[in-house]
A and B are shown apart, each in its own frame.
Chain A
Amino acid sequence: MLYVALAVRAFRRYSTYIAATLAGIFTNCVFGVIISFTYIAVWQQNPDAGGYDVTDALTYCWLAQAMIMTVAIWGGGAPDELAARIRTGDVAIDLYRPVNFLGWWLASDLGRAAYHLLTRGLAPTAVGALLFDLRFPPSMAAWAGFLVAVVLAVVVSFAIRMLVASSAFWLLDQAGVKNLAAVFSMFFSGLVVPLVLFPGWTRDVVMVLPWSAFVQVPVDIWLGRRTGVSLLSGLAFQVGWCVVLLALCALVLRRANRKVVVQGG
Chain B
Amino acid sequence: MSLIQVENLSRTFVVRRRVGRFRREAQVVRAVDDLSFTVDRGEMVGYIGPNGAGKSTTIKMLTGILVPTAGRLSVAGIDPSRDRVELTRRIGVVFGQRTTLWWDLPLRDSFELLRRIYRVDTARFRRNLAEFTELLDLGGLLDTPVRQLSLGQRMRGDLAAALLHDPEILYLDEPTIGLDVVSKGRLREFLRSINTERDVTLLLTTHDLQDIEQLCSRVMVIDHGSLVYDGTLAGLHARGSSTRTLVVDLVDAADPIDVPGADVRRVDGPRQWLSFPADASAAPVVAAVAARYDVADLSISEPDIEDVIRQIYTGPDQLRFS
Query: Using a CB–CB distance below 8 Å, which chain A residues touch chain B?
Result: 1-2, 5-6, 9, 13, 89-90, 92-93, 95-99, 260-264
CA gap between A5 and B115 in the complex, in Å: 11
A16 CB, nearest partner CB in chain B, Å: 8
Whether A5 contacts B84 in the complex (CB less than 8 A), given A92-B65, A93-B100, A261-B67, comes out as no
Whether A96 contacts B65 in the complex (CB less than 8 A), given A9-B105, A9-B109, A261-B81, comes out as yes
Specify which chain B residues have a CB less than 8 angstroms from the CB of A261 in the assembled complex.
Answer: 64-67, 81
- The residue of chain B having its C-beta at the shortest distance from the C-beta of A97 within the complex is B117
Specify which chain B residues have a CB less than 8 angstroms from the CB of A260 in the assembled complex.
Answer: 65
The answer to whether B21 has its CB under 8 Å from any CB of chain A is no
The answer to whether B311 has its CB under 8 Å from any CB of chain A is no
The reply to whether B64 and A96 form a contact with Cβ atoms under 8 Å apart is yes
Whether A96 contacts B88 in the complex (CB less than 8 A), given A9-B109, A90-B98, comes out as yes
- The residue of chain A having its C-beta at the shortest distance from the C-beta of B29 within the complex is A264
Instruction: Jot down 10 A-B pairs with beta carbons below 8 A, ordered by A.
Output: A93-B95, A93-B98, A95-B65, A96-B63, A96-B88, A98-B88, A98-B89, A98-B117, A261-B65, A262-B67
B190 CB, nearest partner CB in chain A, Å: 22
* Count of CB-CB pairs between chains A and B under 8 Å: 48
The answer to whether B113 has its CB under 8 Å from any CB of chain A is yes
The answer to whether B13 has its CB under 8 Å from any CB of chain A is yes
Specify which chain A residues have a CB less than 8 angstroms from the CB of B57 in the assembled complex.
Answer: 264
The reply to whether B116 and A5 form a contact with Cβ atoms under 8 Å apart is yes
B80 CB, nearest partner CB in chain A, Å: 10
Whether A97 contacts B116 in the complex (CB less than 8 A), given A90-B98, A261-B65, comes out as no
Specify which chain B residues have a CB less than 8 angstroms from the CB of A1 in the assembled complex.
Answer: 116
0/1 interface trace, chain B 1-43, chain A, CB 8 Å (1 if under): 0000000000101100000000000000000000000000000
The reply to whether B65 and A6 form a contact with Cβ atoms under 8 Å apart is no
Q: Is the interface of A mostly helix, strand, loop or mixed?
A: helix
- Name the interface size band of chain B: 20 to 34
The answer to whether B118 has its CB under 8 Å from any CB of chain A is yes
The answer to whether B251 has its CB under 8 Å from any CB of chain A is no
The reply to whether B65 and A5 form a contact with Cβ atoms under 8 Å apart is no
3 shortest interchain CB distances as A-B pairs: A2-B116, A98-B85, A98-B88
CA gap between A9 and B57 in the complex, in Å: 33
The answer to whether B79 has its CB under 8 Å from any CB of chain A is no
0/1 interface trace, chain B 87-101, chain A, CB 8 Å (1 if under): 011000101001010
**Residue in A13, A90, A96 with the greatest tally of chain B CB atoms within 10 Å:** A96
Specify which chain B residues have a CB less than 8 angstroms from the CB of A92 in the assembled complex.
Answer: 60, 65
The reply to whether B117 and A99 form a contact with Cβ atoms under 8 Å apart is yes
Specify which chain B residues have a CB less than 8 angstroms from the CB of A90 in the assembled complex.
Answer: 98
Given contacts A96-B64, A261-B65, 4 further A-B contacts (CB under 8 A): A5-B112, A5-B116, A96-B93, A261-B66
Specify which chain A residues have a CB less than 8 angstroms from the CB of B117 in the assembled complex.
Answer: 2, 97-99
Query: Using a CB–CB distance below 8 Å, which chain B residues touch chain A?
Result: 11, 13-14, 57, 60, 63-67, 81, 84-85, 88-89, 93, 95, 98, 100, 102, 104-105, 109, 112-113, 116-118
- The residue of chain A having its C-beta at the shortest distance from the C-beta of B15 within the complex is A264
CA gap between A9 and B110 in the complex, in Å: 10
CA gap between A96 and B66 in the complex, in Å: 10
A241 CB, nearest partner CB in chain B, Å: 30
Which of B13, B81, B104 sits near A264, CB closer than 8 Å? B13
Which of B66, B67, B113, B118 sits near A5, CB closer than 8 Å? B113
- The residue of chain A having its C-beta at the shortest distance from the C-beta of B86 within the complex is A98
Specify which chain A residues have a CB less than 8 angstroms from the CB of B100 in the assembled complex.
Answer: 93
B82 CB, nearest partner CB in chain A, Å: 11
B170 CB, nearest partner CB in chain A, Å: 15
Which of B60, B67, B113 sits near A2, CB closer than 8 Å? B113
CA gap between A95 and B65 in the complex, in Å: 8
Specify which chain B residues have a CB less than 8 angstroms from the CB of A264 in the assembled complex.
Answer: 11, 13, 57, 66
B59 CB, nearest partner CB in chain A, Å: 12
- The residue of chain B having its C-beta at the shortest distance from the C-beta of A3 within the complex is B116
Specify which chain B residues have a CB less than 8 angstroms from the CB of A98 in the assembled complex.
Answer: 85, 88-89, 117-118
B145 CB, nearest partner CB in chain A, Å: 10
Specify which chain B residues have a CB less than 8 angstroms from the CB of A13 in the assembled complex.
Answer: 104
**Residue in A1, A261, A262 with the greatest tally of chain B CB atoms within 10 Å:** A261
Whether A6 contacts B118 in the complex (CB less than 8 A), given A93-B98, A96-B84, A261-B67, comes out as no
CA gap between A262 and B104 in the complex, in Å: 31
- The residue of chain A having its C-beta at the shortest distance from the C-beta of B84 within the complex is A96
- The residue of chain A having its C-beta at the shortest distance from the C-beta of B13 within the complex is A264
- The residue of chain A having its C-beta at the shortest distance from the C-beta of B88 within the complex is A98
Specify which chain A residues have a CB less than 8 angstroms from the CB of B81 in the assembled complex.
Answer: 261
B144 CB, nearest partner CB in chain A, Å: 15
**Residue in B64, B88, B116 with the greatest tally of chain A CB atoms within 10 Å:** B116
A264 CB, nearest partner CB in chain B, Å: 5
A104 CB, nearest partner CB in chain B, Å: 9
